[in-house]
Structure 1
Amino acid sequence: MEITTKKQISAALNQHLQLIYERDGSTQTDFYKQHNLNDGYVSSVKNGKVEGKYPADSFYVELATIIGFSLQKTYWKHIDTTLYKSIIKTAETARVQKKLIGVDGNTGAGKSHSVERIASERPGTTALIVADATLYVTKATHNFIQQIYNACGYKEEMKISNMRKKIFDKARNTPNFLFIFDETEYLNKQCWDIIKGIYRELDSQCGFLVCGLGIQKYVENRAASKWGGRGWQQIASRMKPNWNILPDMGAGVQGWNTECERVLKQVSKFFTKSAISWFATNCQDYRDIMHYASEILLVADEEKWNKIEANILDGYFFNQSNSNPYSE
């Protein structure tokens, strides 16, 4: 990776750290712990120490992805993966049939990418709310309702009761309106109860898509709870026939080799059969494919390669690290 690109990522990191500090007081320590990053590497990038062997290029690419910084030249584009098409179909069912539907799948399945794309393509009729556990430590009810209110397109400050009224009005008065709640495994009970309350108020008037990891079990447990099941039996009953449980996709899973080949052929013609097999063996999910492919294609551009074999991938990635640098 070129020094210029590393400096751009360094500047973007400083801006991001300043932003999260001003937003909710989060520090650099909070940042690297939240994302399971090496604190020394984060400090090096923040301080602009970009000319040594470490951090490796892979760390810069991962960091850029986390803070939402787009590399000057990227080779990754949207691809209709199998799971993406499944999530899109589920969202459309929720929207058109005005149902409450859950999508439960592992990290890296593409849930967040899918719902972000839905929200960007249909901004006026979609409210995307992404859970952020740091917002619910205090004033959980107020902060979560404000998130929903803002996602509906409102910015004016007002009381919770007025925000709720605006949310209901938006959903009722907008044809085929869809609420999307993403990363809901990070929500606490108060926030889940708010979703329940909004759904019961707007039942059959708009669509609800709830996405997360392990959330089917959470909903069922709430419904079965002696003390916390009030109203949740109805929610669980409505969701039961409509769950979209995403299948595991990754190394060792049947069909993963074929999926890797289909995805990589859309990304670049440089990947040989041995390279595709390498991805299928070493990538646990779509996120891994994206990170590895993006970085090696940047290197290929700098080195003027026109073919990428498995030995190139081994030499580049595993000489920097003895394990997959992107998988948790």
Structure 2
Amino acid sequence: MTQELKHQIVSELENYLSQHEMSANDFVKKSGVNESYISNMRNKSFKIGPTEIAPKWFEKVASFIGLALKKTYWKPVVTKQMTAMMAILEDSKEHGTINPVIGETGCGKTFNSNLFAAQHPLDTFIIKVGSSDNLSDLIDKILDKAKIPHSKTKSKNINAIVKFMQKQKFESLKPQLIFDECEYMKQPTLSMMKELTDDLKGHCSIVLIGTDELIDNLDKLRKRKKAGMRQFYRRIKFGIRVLPSIDKNFQGFLENVEDRPLRSFLQRVCENYGELHDALVPALREADRTGEKLNEQFVRKVLNLPTQMFA
């Protein structure tokens, strides 16, 4: 890594701290980069004693602040889903509400929520839900994301989270928890989410992101009169927000694809933005590497798709 690039990263770091009104100490907590590394970087000393700070730490800083060090093959496109989701997240954050956000698979829910969180690094925390997670697992993930020390009991951990959110509000921040891939929540976890949302009500906004499976699961549990589900559903019923349908023409994504047959092929075989990314990005990288023309035949070769597939 050149000295010039190191100076560029430090300059962008200073801009980032200023833009987000973030202290160096907060940056250290959020990024996980050693405090002495950050201090020396900002002082334009790229050594700790006689030892050079390893390039991986500069790369970690660049990654956290969103500075691309390599060519980017997939750039944000302002879709209807992005516009809607950003407005929902902003409104929820501003007013401290609970909002389930429902969208099709591959419509950019995770991508857009990460973009939003990057704009609010101090007080927005994304928790990715796993298929085997229970409430204790989710609480542990919140503690880890917010850098809150773990206690021995669930109730103490919840109290610690509440106090943390209260402290953020006292400091004029607007804390927000975003739970991603909530369709994976099973009945026990959904039942316990009522407990967590009740404890956090008034202290932070909560967004539950998922596919329509999330609403289907909630509706089934409510109709079966599972404990707490009717009360939980009542709390979120009028907070449910459904994102617009995916544009299968992929306007904005294919503007740099000059080959018309390739554009038609991608529109035909890709069901969503996620699939388009998975088909196009490896082909763009390989075309750059080999210098070959980007067309349907080349994309099929990169993806190992026989000619008869998706004919």
TM-score normalised to the size of structure 2? 0.67
Residue in structure 1 matched with residue 238 of structure 2 by the alignment: 241
Q: How many residues align?
A: 238
- SS where residue 106 of structure 1 aligns? coil
Superimposed CA distance per residue, residues 270-319 of structure 1 (whole angstroms, 9 cap, x where no aligned partner): 433332222111111111111122111112112324x5334443455464
Residue 219 of structure 1 aligns to a residue in which SS? helix
The match for 1:221 is 220
Q: Which amino acid aligns with 1:283?
A: C
What's the counterpart of residue 276 of structure 1? 263
CA contact (8 A) 2:92 2:205 kept: yes
1:40-189 aligned within 5 A: 74-134=72-132, 136=133, 140-174=134-168, 175-189=173-187
Q: Tell whether the 8 Å contact from 1:104 to 1:244 is kept in structure 2 after alignment.
A: yes
- Alignment partner, residue 55 of structure 1: none
- Give the SS at the match of 2:207: strand
Report Cα offsets for 1:46-92 as digits up to 9, x if no partner: xxxxxxxxxxxxxxxxxxxxxxxx99754122333321222221111
Please tell me the residue identity of whatever aligns with 2:159: K
- Alpha-carbon displacement from aligned partner over 1:212-247 (angstroms, at most 9, x marks no partner): 121112222222223x143x3333223222322234
Structure 1 residues 319 and 194: CA distance shift in structure 2, 3 A:
closer
For the Cα contact (< 8 Å) 2:178–2:208, is it kept in 1? yes
TM normalised by structure 1 equals 0.64
Choose from 192, 197, 200 the match for 2:198.
200
Distance 1:72 1:211 in 2: 30
Contact 1:103–1:245 (Cα < 8 Å) also in 2: yes
1:261 aligns with 2:251: yes
Matched position secondary structure for 1:133: coil
Structure 2: runs of 5 or more not aligned: 1-67
- For 1:242, the aligned partner's letter is G
Q: 1:209 to 1:163 in 2, by over 3 A?
A: same
- Counterpart residue number, 1:40: none
1:303 to 273, 282, 290: 290
Residue 208 (structure 2) aligns with: 210
Distance 1:151 1:317 in 2: 36
2:64 corresponds in structure 1 to none
Q: Give SS of 1:94's match.
A: helix
Gap change, CA 1:304 and 1:247, over 3 Å in 2: same
TM-fit CA distance, 1:202? 2.8
Partner of 1:288: 275
Equivalent residues of 1:74, 1:298 under 8 A apart = no
CA distance in 2, matches of 1:71, 1:311: 30
Q: CA RMSD in A?
A: 2.7
Q: Deviations over 1:112-164 (max 9, x none)?
A: 22222222332221121111224x3xxx3432321222222224454322211
- In the TM superposition, residue 168 of structure 1 has moved relative to its aligned partner by 0.8
Residue 52 of structure 2 corresponds to which residue in structure 1? none
Q: Aligned partners of 1:71 and 1:78: how far apart in 2?
A: 17
Q: Distance between the aligned counterparts of 2:69 and 2:275, measured in 1? A: 17
2:149 and 2:309 mapped to 1: Cα distance?
Answer: 45
Q: Which amino acid letter does the alignment assign opposite residue 209 of structure 2?
A: C
Q: CA deviation at 1:203?
A: 2.4
Counterparts in 2 of 1:90 and 1:224: CA distance versus 1, 3 Å: same
Structure 1 CA distance, aligned partners of 2:155 and 2:227? 25
1:78 alignment partner AA = P
C-alpha distance in 1 between matches for 2:180 and 2:108: 11
Percent of matched pairs sharing the same residue: 20
